[in-house]
Each structure stands twice: as C-alpha cells, then as structure tokens.
Structure 1
C-alpha cells in the first residue's frame, strides 16, 4: 500500500501524528537496496538543498548556532568546548518536551541519552544555507575554536589600527572572523531554559532570506516565497505547480519518472525475497502492489523519456553516479518499455535486479546469505522516491507559520 502524507496542519496533535507516520515510512524510502541513492540525492539536493530526511523542525537551524554562539561569546576553551556544547544540546530536550508542540523533538524517547544530536543533523544544512560561515566540519570546528578566538582577536587589532588611520577593513576580512551569519537573530531571553518550535517573524524572515541568497535557483527557494502549504504527497503535485519555472518542471518530471520506474524494480526485489522465504502472504501483497504499479505507470511518457537528459540533469551535482548504476537503470527502463506486465516472468529482468543487489551487498546479499534473508523484515525500500518532500513540507510549514505570526508589541 502506498503511503499518504498530508500537509502538517496547525494542530500540534495532528502534526505529531503525521511526523510519527513519517518516521515509519521514511525508512522505506531511504533504504537503498538497489544503489539508487546517488541519483535520488542528486535530485533532492538540487530541489531542496540543505535539507535531509532526518531533519525534523526548522527552528533547530537556529537552536544550534545559538548554542555555539553563546559558547564562543564566553570564550569556552577547546578543552571543554565540545563537552559543553554536547551538554547544552541534551539539556534542550526537556524544555522542548515541556512546550505545547513536541512533534519532532530530538530525544523525545531517549531524553538526554539521545545518540544523535541535532547539531550533527543540521550542520551541513547550516552551511548550505549560509547560516554557518565557518568552513570546518563540526569536529574540526570544535578542535580549532582557540584558533578562531585568536583570529578574531587579530581582526579586532586590525580594526583598531585601521580606525586610527581613518580606514576600514574590507567585508571579507570581517566575515572571516565569524562562525555564524552576522544577522543571526538573537535568541529569546528565556533560551535555553525555555524553548519551542514557533519561529518569530524575524527568525522566519532571516531563514527565508538565507535560502534566497544561498540557494536562489532551487525549488525550495521558490516555495519559500510564492507558495502556501499544500496537501500533496510529492513535490510534483502542489496546486501551484503551474507557476514553477520550466527548469523546475523539467527536473521534477525526470525525478517523477525515475521514481515511477525504479519503484517497480524495488517491488520486484521484494517479491523475489518473499518467494525465497516461501512467505505466501508477503508474495501476494507485493504482487498486488506490483499489479497496481503496472496499471498506473505513465508508459507513454516512459517510452518517450530521454534517459540521456536524465543523466545530464543528475551527473556532476555532488554525487557519484557510477557507470554500473546508469547501466542498471537504463536496462530496467528498457524492460519496462517493452512490457511492464511481463517483468515478473521475464528471467532477464528478474536477474537484473537480483545481480544488482548481489553486486552491492556481496556476502551480505539476501540472495546468498540465509541469515540475512531470515532477518529481512518483509519490506525493503518499498516507498516511492519523493526526494525528502515529507520533511521539506514540515520545514516549509514551520516557516509559513513564522512568516504569518503577529509579533507582540
């Protein structure tokens, strides 16, 4: 059964429920059994740069720099910088759990014992959106904090000398001494003792502006300016689609066709595993899904689809798409073009999927390793590729609510 995820509404309980559903289906999309992740992520990074499938709420894009900025202002030394940052992130769990909106809280179940901190999840996105100015990885930033302090001191000395001469240092020199964007809104006075996910209008405008400047040609940038929340399951379904640029429409068309065609390969994979397990109920369920897929695919579009253009749009955008991946995709599409209904009786098409998984997993292949087959949960990667759209919808909704929030006088 295909999952349905609708726009997060204003009610916190509804938002909580939707995020819980999202967490269940997220794994089904993100598990990359057939090595399609490089193509998927190339599309996703072009459409929605700075996002990921493990980001939950937009205000973490401010929580993280607020925590680090406070430590920098105190000039916490390198010996304890990472330790104190870790503690502050864990301490943030309870204030968020005490708020009215608990959906998407990191550590909601584990509390302060959470294994993955928000900073590690949002670090890349903070850089992509230009909120984080330091070019270092998170660990390197921790290790080089004393160097950052020294560079900042040197910059102040330069500014003092320049002022005495009646000159000024250039913007690049000034920006080089910053870890975070100079227009980063100040945290509320109550932070971090009290915290919630409601963006102020100032905060929302800051994030929107950062996206506009850093990712101006992305669909994400367009949506932050021109579109209201919509009840759709994929990024090519919004009612505002007609207002998208030709470039975005082309990218979305190729992303949609790639999702449609590769969904069949994943279903074939699951059917073959269910047959190996002699699990008749699972075989029947996956065959039903496969029949629904063959009945719904846009075959005319697929037959006229330019695969050459698919690779022009996806290769060379920060992800390595190997010749083997391209060959697998092209061969599978050719099988679909000939006869999608014959795919489950076509030995060549079945072996194409089987060989692909065996090549990727080696001795861990479920076709070779009985224990791996026994540990298979029955469903692997069966959600259609929607390129982080469920997560992006949550982030956009948070932004929309902030942009339309009336500020208190």
Structure 2
C-alpha cells in the first residue's frame, strides 16, 4: 500500500495525552550505565531460555533489542544511506563510505550535551560494531527500511537499485507523454527507505545530538503505530505517560492495557519469576563446585528471597499449555527439549519451592540442561570453564528488554512534547 509522503494532517488529528519527565543528560547517563548491567544479566542465556524470552519481547516490543541505546539512531542510519543513494555511489565505494559516515558520527555525539548511549564513546571511530548493524532489523520491523535484504546484500545490490530507478524514470516519462497515470506500486518498489523519512538537519552529520525534533518523533511514532499496531510498544507510545518501573507489568497504567497485553505480560511475568529460581539453582551449584562459600551464601540468600516472594498460587494455577500457545510459532523456534525443561522446572517449583535445592531431580535437571547446551564447555565438566566463571550467570530476572525500551520511549516522548510545529 502506498504511504503518502506527508502525514501532517494525520499527526495533528492524533490526540495526545503524553507527558514526560524532563530527564537531563546526567540522568540519561545514569540510566544507560544501569542499562548495561541489566543487559548483561538478561542477555546471558545459560539455560537456553532465550527463544521463549525473545518470543515475548518481540511481541511486546517489536523492533527493539538489548543493544539498542538511543532512538535517533533509527534516523541516523537511513539518513546516511539515503544520502549515499542520492549521490549514486557505486557498489565499489558504497559500503566503505557508509562505514566512514557512521564512524564520523561518534565525535559530534560525544561533543553534544547528551552523551549517554553513544556508540563508540570509549573506542571512538574505531568502534567494532556500527549502529547500522544493531538497528538494521528494527528498521525493517518498523518499516522504515523497505529493502528486504540483509545489510551486506543491500550493499551488493545498490547498483541494481539505481538501474531500477532509471528504468522507472523512462517508463514514467513515456506514461506522462501518453497521459497515463503513474504506477505508485512500481515507484514504491524502488524505495529502500520509507518515502516519508524526515529530512536530516542541514548540518548533519557534522553537528548532531540525540534530541528528536517534533516531526521526527511523529514519524517514528507513526511507523510504530502502522507497522506494529497490536504491540504494547505501540500502546505505550500513543497512550501512556512514562514510568520508571523495573518491569513492564509494574507500569502504573497496566489497568488500561488491552487484554491481549495483560495476558502476554501475565505469562511473561510468571515465566520470569519461575525460571529465575532455575538460574539461582545453577549459580548455587557452581559456587558449591568451586568451594566458594561467600558466593554460595549470596546466591542462597537470593534463593530464599525468591521462595519468599514467589506467587505460588498463581504458579500452581498457571496454564503451561497457554504459555506455549502464546510463544511458539511467533518467529522463534522453541524446541521440545526447552519445553520439557521449562515444564519440569515448573512442576518442581509448584510442588515445593523450598525443597528444590535438596531435590536431586531438580538439581540434575538444571545440571543436565547446561551440559547439553554447552557440551565440552559445560562448567560442570570443564574445570577451566568453571574457573573462568565470574560468579553470576543470568541471575537477573527477565524483563524482556524493558530497560532499553524505557530509554527509547523517553527519547520519543521528549520529541513528541518538544515545542515546534508538527
């Protein structure tokens, strides 16, 4: 479907009930430092739960990831590529110039008032991972990136893009001479980036920061609304004031969420709560294997807290069949082995969470799971791997990218509320 180049009327028609806490750059810097800790805890997948975790996260917050930092990168990347396409750089220099322009972003962002989340803040322009590789998938999910190809293939096919556009110009010229209408679908097929993409600031990329203009924020919010209309991300972007909570199910506007969001969050929360115990069991077993009494004591304390706060009644009444209905076949393969592990752990937890650490079957379930996943690198069978263990593996509760999503929504809502014309 053709999407008009200008959507100002649509944006103005959208009633806004949004407000935002005016976080300064120091506050954002603290947030990003905390975020890096959560990312480490959540992204480590010692027990192979990532497929379930990511299924929930992709349904709730599509297009996001645990390594995205700031929202305006969603515009920096297409701005860079669009500028190179306009210059019709050939395939031989296209990727090289894109790489250079991304690296050239580092210093202006460091020089800005808001440095939190800068890619290359430590490494400078020698950073190993460029923002484009981090945001490429999300740009596709939000339909800002229209080319269906991987980043490398997009680079390799750029000459084909130019040829298709030149061919289209000739066709449209002939159509105009005959008085025929322009084929909008044909024109859209030549776009690699959304035609409504706001123009970059005149001094981009020499002077740049993370502050979205009102027009930019409207565009991104509109993309989320259209590309991901049923997601919680879309609901939060349009209807909710921001909230500094530790998990999405703690949001003060939870009561106004759609039923489908509440159901997803209920199962996501229970999965997080229950499987947190498995992660703690894993760490306790390793600490004992290392004869590290202090670590054993710390993890045991965390385990005791887990037992004390576990919503056992909910766990006992939890429909695991519904859990799989909500997570299987949503873009992630959840193997039968993963389902078996999760279901058995839920059974042990439901029967007696207090006795899990003395239940050999429950202990062996965790041990066998890690050994199966890691093979010869298992910490239970590889002494060197055990010695290299840092003492904490996956001990943070799953919050499904919420820490990152909060930062992205912060950037969005500050832009939405920025003074200026739509």
TM-score, length of structure 2 as denominator length: 0.94
- C-alpha deviations, 1:297-339, integer Å up to 9, x for none? 1000000000000000000001000000000000000000100
- Would you say the 8 A contact 1:8–1:394 is kept in 2? no
Q: Which runs of 5+ in 1 are unaligned?
A: 1-6
Q: Does 1:268 align with 2:275?
A: no
Whole-Å Cα distance in 2 between the matches of residues 171 and 220 of structure 1? 30
- Out of 105, 111, 115, which is 1:92 matched to? 105
RMSD: 1.1
- The aligned counterpart of 1:131 is 144
- Would you say the 8 A contact 2:214–2:421 is kept in 1? no
- The aligned counterpart of 2:60 is 47
Whole-Å Cα distance in 1 between the matches of residues 319 and 421 of structure 2? 54
Secondary structure, counterpart of 1:231 in structure 2: coil
Whole-Å Cα distance in 2 between the matches of residues 147 and 358 of structure 1? 48
Secondary structure, counterpart of 2:248 in structure 1: coil
- Out of 403, 406, 415, which is 1:393 matched to? 406
The CA deviation at 1:179 is 0.7
267-276 or 148-157, larger mean C-alpha shift: 148-157
The CA deviation at 1:11 is 1.3
TM-score, length of structure 1 as denominator length: 0.97
- The aligned counterpart of 1:381 is 394
Whole-Å Cα distance in 2 between the matches of residues 220 and 285 of structure 1? 36
Number of aligned residue pairs: give it: 403
The CA deviation at 1:9 is 5.3
- The aligned counterpart of 2:133 is 120
- The aligned counterpart of 1:4 is none
- The aligned counterpart of 2:420 is 407
- The aligned counterpart of 1:82 is 95
Q: Does 1:237 align with 2:237?
A: no
Q: Does 1:62 align with 2:79?
A: no
- C-alpha deviations, 1:160-211, integer Å up to 9, x for none? 1111111123322111000100000000001000000000000000000000
Whole-Å Cα distance in 2 between the matches of residues 224 and 161 of structure 1? 44
- Out of 187, 191, 194, which is 1:174 matched to? 187
- The aligned counterpart of 2:314 is 301
Displaced runs of 4+ in structure 1, greater than 6 A? none
Whole-Å Cα distance in 2 between the matches of residues 384 and 8 of structure 1? 26
Secondary structure, counterpart of 2:414 in structure 1: helix
Q: Which runs of 5+ in 2 are unaligned?
A: 1-19
- C-alpha deviations, 1:137-177, integer Å up to 9, x for none? 00000001001110111111111111111112332211100
- C-alpha deviations, 1:262-290, integer Å up to 9, x for none? 00000000000000000000000000000
